Each structure stands twice: as C-alpha cells, then as structure tokens.
Structure 1
Amino acid sequence: MPPRKDPDASVSVPSFYGSELRYQREQAGLTLQATVEGSYYGVSYLSEIERGQRRMPKDLAVHCDKLLKTDGFFERHCEAVHKARGTGHAEYFADALEMEQRAESIEEWAPTLIPGLLQTADYARAIVRAAMPRASDEEVEKLVAARVSRAAVFDGEGAPKFWAILDETLIRRRVLPDEQMANLLEHIAEVVKATHSILQVLPESAGAHPLMTGELRVMTFADEPPVAYAESLHSGQLIDYPALVKQYRESYDLLRAAALSPAASLALIEAAAEDYRNGKQRTRLE
C-alpha cells in the first residue's frame, strides 16, 4: 500500500479546515466510516472535505463537532471556509460545481442559456449584466471570470465525458452583436470537437417533450452514485435520491431521441455562425 499523502494545510483555508478535521478525527481514534455514521453523508464525501476538495455542510459540521467534542469549531467556521473559496458562483450551485470537478460524465439540457462550460466571456458578461443590471463592473467581471474558468475541467486526462442538448432558440436568440454571436457558436463547435463531446440541438419543431420545465444536468462518478441538478431562476436543487435520479435520466434519454443527430446539430451551429458572420441571420430573424 502506498504511503498516505496528507494535504498541505498551508495551501488554502479549505485545506487547513480539512487538515484540522482529519487531525481531530484521528486523535479521537475514529475511521471515516465511524465518523459519518449517524449523518446523511458517505465516507468519500468526508474524505474530500479532509482533502480540501469539498465544502462542509452545516449539518455535517454540527455532527462532527458533537462526535469529536470540538466545541462548535467546525460549525463556526464552515461558512467562512466556503467564502474563502471565492468561487464567484451562486450559493445554490456550490455543491454541483464541486461535483463537476470530479465527474466522469456530465449530461446537460439547456433550454434557456448556453451551458456554462461552453460560454464565451462576451456571452457570460451579457447574461450576468442582464440578470444584475445594478452590479458594478468589478462584480460582473468576477462572475464572468468564474463562469469561463469552469472550462478548465476539460483539461487533463481526467476530463469528464460531456453531452449537451441545446434548445434551438438558443442559437436563434440574438443576445449579442452578430460578430460575437458568431464567435460564441464557433467556440461551441470548437470545444465540442476538441473534447470529443457530444452536442445535440432540439429543434423548435420538436413540440412537447419531457423536460420543458427547466435546466437539468446529470453527473456520474467513478465511486459515487449519479446525481441530478435542476436549476431555475435564482435557485437550484441537487438531487441524489436514486429513484428520482433514475427518472431524470430516463427523461434525458427521451430528450436525446427527440433531438437532431450530433452531426446534424454541429452542422446547424456552424451554419448559424456563418450566417451571423455574414449578416444573414438578422435577415432571417426579421
């Protein structure tokens, strides 16, 4: 067995917090399994917190404080640790964002917004500014940087297999000037090709379908059960109940069947990019 690699507590606040959690657990003579017993979390979840890779939920912090007799230390500081991450993302997206970093596959349905992993800075800026018209330029740029930085998940050997289904209206809706719309669609096509991802477009003619109520992503992992994440305006929900996740996956499969083929979808996006580039898309919309 290879020697255990302890996290470097000096790297970040989450690493320090996780290192302290491991120290207190081992001082108490408890295994990971013994520590999570009586909570709603698994061994891998707690292990990732100890490595500074995942945030500590408040209810688990309370559980650990009680078990380890740490006088409320972990509860008092769990929110500060989360803030120290400086993710630039909404609070309700925090868990889904962390899971994204270790997912084996990500399957996403995008009815209203281009998925974050495929956005350009111009598109992200336009979306953020529309949602937060009173925000300062500094606040907007922080959110934009956080959004586009998510694409780094595709770097390296452990990149997730990505499958996205986009509603056709996302291609036709002109949220940017023509040149920037062309850049956005060309960027999407380039990312899909470079990462060997699969992209489908649900045509406007598809009619009723099983996922008409909002955005959805399903993530699978090497050593954890799959989860679903459903998002609507100003809120999001991470779903890990197996029966419900199975239903979401079945709905996504039905949506796949209703969408254009990957080849036809990519051709549609590239043709739309060329139309925007040549000013033809505006004429079609008019």
Structure 2
Amino acid sequence: MSAPKPLDPSASPRAMLGAELRHQRVQAALSQGELGRPLFVSASFIGQLESGTRRMQTEYATYFDETFKTNGFFARNCEALKKSKYPDHFAEAAEAEAIATVIKEYAQSLIPGLLQTEGYARAVFVSGLPTTSDERIGELVSARLERANLLKDPTEPVVWTVLDEAVLRRPVGGPAVMAEALRHIAALMRRRRIILQVLPFDAGGHPALEGSLKLMEFSDAAPLVYLESFGSGQLLDDPASVTRYELAYHLVGASALSPEKSLALLESAAEDYTHDEQHS
C-alpha cells in the first residue's frame, strides 16, 4: 500500500483541522475505519475530513477531542469554521468545490453559480429572496462571483457542464441580462476553459429529469455528489450513490448536443435576446 499523501495544513483552516486529525489518528495507531466506526461513518468519510474535503461537524469534533484527549481543540476550531458567506445548505458543497480537481454539473433551470455574471446572479437572488435587503443581496452576489475565481486558473479544475435548454430559454433578469450571461459562457468555451453541452428539448426523457446534480472529484479523496432542491442541499459520498449519479450525468451528456453545436446555440440565443432588448 502506498503512503498517504502529505497534507498541507496551511492551505485553509479546514485543511489545518484535517491535518491535525490525521496526526492524532496515526499517533493513536487507529485506521480510518476504526476511528469512524463509533460515529457510524465510513473510512472514506474520515479520509475526507483529513483532506479537508468535508466540513467537520460539532458532534464529530467533540468525539475526536474525547478520543484523543485534545482539550477541546477540535470543538473550538470546528465552531470557528462554521462561519460561512454561503447559505447553510450550500456551505459545505462550496468548500468542497473550491478544492475539487474536476466539477461535472447538470443544470436543469439556472446557469450554475460558477458560470454566472453579476447581473444574472443578482436577478436570481432578487427574484428568489424578494424581501431580502439590498445589502444582503450584495453579499450573496459577491460570494457567488468569488467562487468563479476558480476559473482564473487556466487548467484546474476541469469544468464540464450540461445545461438543459430551459436554462437558455428562461429570461432571468430580462433580455439584456440573458444576452450578457450567455455571451460570458460562450467566451469561456472559446477560451477552452470549460466544456459545455446543451441538452435540447427534443432529447426527451433522461435520467436527471427530477433535478440538477453536481459531481466533484478530488486528488486525495473520494468523489462527492451534491444534490440541491428548494432551499436545501445534500452532499453524498456513498460509493453506490456516486456511481449511480455519475452514470446519470454521462447518459445526459450522451443525449446532449456536441460542444460545437452547443456554442452555436448559445450565441444564437444571445443574439435573440439582444434583438429583443433593442426592440422592447
């Protein structure tokens, strides 16, 4: 068996916590499975905590302090890490996304957050949170745009997105906002920074009809699936579930247009929105 990959505790506070967890576990001569068994979690889950892929929950932190006699170290730092700029249901997924090497996503009704423009993101939040203050909307928009900094790296993460045609046809924010949003995606495609396909309406039924999904792969941890619904989200690491959703994603991609045809459709839709704006 190969030696475990060295951890970099300076990468983030969560990586620091994970590196300390591995140190304490190794010092106690426990395997990941042995440490996880009393918590009813898998060895891979403990590995994800150690690598910083998963956020440590308070009940786990308390157990680790009791097991390793660390005088509240894990619980104190766990509480500090709970503060997030993202909504509660998405915070852990956003943190995992930030260290993923591959992100594959099927979007059913909205442009994914990583690919949104400021105008589109603002329109999404204003329509979804109609009684929220402008200040809070601004915070949410800023947090969403900050996620897109991942795309400033020319090669990682690999981002492969399948957009349902409904995403192109739903005029979120109006014609001008949509034209800008679609041209932004087209520019990312032309720079070969992302892979993108459009699933046309005439593709008919497919395995992801019930909702969007995001698959994330990591260099030193098992893959994760994130499923989001109205005001809630679920992060899954069960291998059987991950395999099932990976198959669904690839079947959706097999029914979608090629990237070349998808780009042409995106740019055509952007032109239509521009025409609508000019004649409104």
Q: TM-score scaled to structure 1, two decimals?
A: 0.82
Range 173-182 or range 262-271, more displaced:
173-182
Q: Distance in 1 between matches of 2:88 and 2:163?
A: 25
Q: Which amino acid aligns with 1:186?
A: R
Q: Distance in 1 between matches of 2:14 and 2:100?
A: 20
Matched, 1:229 2:232: no
Matched, 1:261 2:258: yes
Cα deviation, residue 206, structure 1: 2.0
Q: Determine which of 169, 186, 191 is the counterpart of 2:188.
A: 191
Question: How many pairs are equivalent?
Answer: 271
Q: Which amino acid aligns with 1:57?
A: Q
Query: After superposition, where does 1:53-132 map in structure 2 within 5 Å?
Result: 55-83=55-83, 86=84, 88-132=85-129
Query: After superposition, where does 1:116-195 map in structure 2 within 5 Å?
Result: 116-156=113-153, 159-195=156-192
Q: What does residue 247 of structure 2 align with?
A: 250
Q: Distance in 2 between matches of 1:37 and 1:173?
A: 45
Q: Distance in 2 between matches of 1:146 and 1:32?
A: 38
Return closer, same or farther for 1:282/1:242 CA change in 2, 3 Å cut-off.
farther
SS in 2 for 1:133: coil
Cα deviation, residue 213, structure 1: 0.8
SS in 1 for 2:104: strand
Alignment root-mean-square deviation, CA? 3.1
Q: Give unmatched runs, 5+ long, in structure 2.
A: 1-5
Q: Is the 8 A contact 2:211 2:229 kept in 1?
A: yes
Q: Which amino acid aligns with 2:64?
A: C
Return closer, same or farther for 1:6/1:235 CA change in 2, 3 Å cut-off.
closer
Q: Is the 8 A contact 2:117 2:181 kept in 1?
A: yes
Q: What does residue 50 of structure 2 align with?
A: 47
Cα deviation, residue 163, structure 1: 1.0
Q: Which amino acid aligns with 1:135?
A: T
Q: Which amino acid aligns with 1:78?
A: C
Cα deviation, residue 113, structure 1: 1.1
Q: Is the 8 A contact 1:14 1:82 kept in 2?
A: no
Matched, 1:25 2:28: no
SS in 2 for 1:279: helix
Identical-residue share of aligned pairs (%): 41
Q: Is the 8 A contact 1:154 1:195 kept in 2?
A: no
